[in-house]
Amino acid sequence: MTSTLRRAAERSDSAAERQCAKAIEIVIGVFTVILSSIVYKLHYHIQREIIILIVNGAQLVITGVVLVHTGRKPSKCLVLTTIVLQLLTAAFDIVGFGLMARHIPFRGESYYYRDTEFLVNGILVTLIGFLVLACVIGLAVSLFGVYALSVSAIKYGEGPKDSGSSVEGKRRSAVRKIRAGGHVELDEKLLDAGLRELKEETGLILSPDEISSQLLGLWESVYPPMLSIGLPKRHHVVTYMLLKSSLSHLQLQACLRPDPAEVSACVWVDASLVKVVVSAVDGENDSVQIPADLPQTISVTEVSPQGELSEVSLPVSVLCNRAPDHGEDIERVSTGTKFALELWLKMLEPHAEMG
C-alpha cells in the first residue's frame, strides 16, 4: 500500500522513507523507555507521569514491529491492526505530551534535585520531541493504511492469493484481454522495454534491482488469428517475460494507475482461474467446465476515460470465450496471452510439487 509513484527514483525514495518510518518508531520507543526510566529513578514525585511514558514507549516498539511485519506480508487484517495501533499510539503521545509539558521547565525541591535540573529538563524536552515525531508518524501511517484499503481491489477472503498472482489488462477500443506490453526501442534491452511499457500502461514502476526476471517464451502473433475471418493485417513476434516482485498483489494494486488511453480494465488472476482460461483452446469446440469451487464472477478494475478506477463484476465465462471461426471478434483472452499463461502455469508446477 503505497502512494502514487511517477518515476523510478521517486519510488525508490518512497520505499526508503517507509523503511525509515518503521525503524524510527522502534528507535523512538526504545529511547523513550530508557530516558523515562532514568527520570523515574531520579525524581519520585513525577513517577506516575513517567510510567505512562514507559508504557507508551513499549507500545511504540510493538507498533513498529507490527508495521514491519505488515510491510513484508500485507493483509487486510494486519493493515487494520496497524491503523488501530498507530491511532492508539498517537493518542498516548498526545497525553504524554500534555503531562510532560506541565513539568517544563523542571524545578527541583531540594539541593539534590536542583543539581539535576539541567539533566531532567534536557531529557523531558527530548521526550516531548520524540512524542511529537511519533504522533506525526502514527497519523501519517494511519492515513496511508486507510488510503491503501480504499483503493485495494482485492477484498479479504476473495480473489487470488499473494503467491502466484498475475495481472491482466484489456486494451481500450478492443475486445481482447492481453498483458501489458508494446514495442522495443532501438538499442533497448528486452527487460528495460518491458518495465517501460508496464509503467506507461499500468503505472507500476518496478526497478530491475527489485525484481527477478526470466524469458517465458516467444509467440508469433497474427491478426486476425484465422484465415476464415480475413487475411492477416498484423504480424509480429511477441516476447513474454516473467517478473517476480517481493511486493504482494495488494501493494501493487495500490500503485496501479492504468493509462486510460490504452487500458480500459485490468484484473488479478491466480493459478486456479488461469487453468480454466487456458483450457478454452482456440479452434476447439468442446465445452469448458468451470469448477464448482471457482466463483462464477470475478472483480475487475475498470478504467474510465478520465482515469478513474471502479470495481465491476465480470463473468468467468467471458474469460473462457474462444476466437470465433468467422465474423467479428468477441470479448475474450487473446490467443497469445493464453499461450503465456500456460507457460506461467508450467513454471509454477515445480514449486507446487516441492510444496
- Sorted by where each begins, the domain ranges of the chain are 8-151, 165-354
3-state secondary structure of 223: strand
Confidence of residue 116 (pLDDT cuts 50, 70, 90): low
Question: How many angstroms separate the CA atoms of 140 and 135, rounded?
Answer: 9
Distance CA 260, CA 263 (A): 5
Between these two residues, 115 and 191, which has the higher pLDDT value?
191
Q: Which three cell numbers stand for residue 26?
A: 522502534
Number of other CB atoms surrounding residue 1 within 10 Å:
25
Q: What is d(CA 39, CA 2) in angstroms, rounded to the nearest whole number? A: 39
pLDDT at 167 over 60: no
Which range, of 107-121, 122-136, 289-303, averages the lowest pLDDT? 107-121
Position 151 confidence tier, pLDDT thresholds 50, 70, 90? low
pLDDT band at 210 (very low <50, low <70, confident <90, very high): confident
> 267 pairs with which residues across the strands?
168
Q: What is the pLDDT averaged over residues 206-225?
A: 86
Quick one: pLDDT at residue 19?
55
Neighbour count for residue 148 (Cβ, 10 Å):
21
Is 163 a residue whose pLDDT tops 60? no
Residue of 184, 246, 210, 166 whose CA lies nearest to 8 = 210
- Indicate the CATH number of 165-354 among 3.40.50.11540, 3.90.79.10, 3.40.50.2020, 3.30.565.10: 3.90.79.10
More confident residue, 102 or 201: 201
State pLDDT tens for residues 233-288.
Answer: 888 888 898 988 888 888 888 888 898 888 889 888 889 999 999 988 887 777 78
CATH topology match: 8-151 vs 165-354: no
Least confident of 90-94, 99-103, 279-283: 99-103
Query: What is the spatial distance between Cα 177 and Cα 168, in angstroms, rounded to a whole number?
Result: 7
Lowest mean pLDDT among 62-71, 74-83, 176-185: 176-185
How far apart CA 247 and CA 210 sit, in angstroms, is 9
- pLDDT of amino acid 40: 72
User: Whole-model pTM above 0.85?
Assistant: no
Topology, domain 8-151: Four Helix Bundle (Hemerythrin (Met), subunit A) (1.20.120)
Confidence grade of residue 12 (pLDDT, cut at 50, 70, 90) = very low
pLDDT given for residue 140 in this prediction: 82
- Which of 8-12, 109-113, 170-174, 277-281 is predicted least confidently? 8-12
Range 150-161 average pLDDT: 42
Could you tell me what percent of the chain has a pLDDT over 90? 7
The yes-or-no verdict on residue 221 having pLDDT over 60 is yes
Asked whether residue 292 carries a pLDDT value surpassing 50, the answer given is yes
Whether pLDDT at 343 is above 90: yes
Give the pLDDT of residue 282. Answer: 80
Higher pLDDT, 125 or 155: 125
Least confident segment among 47-56, 99-108, 263-272, 296-305? 99-108
Task: Evaluate the CA torsion angle 266, 271, 272, 274 in order and state its sign.
Answer: positive
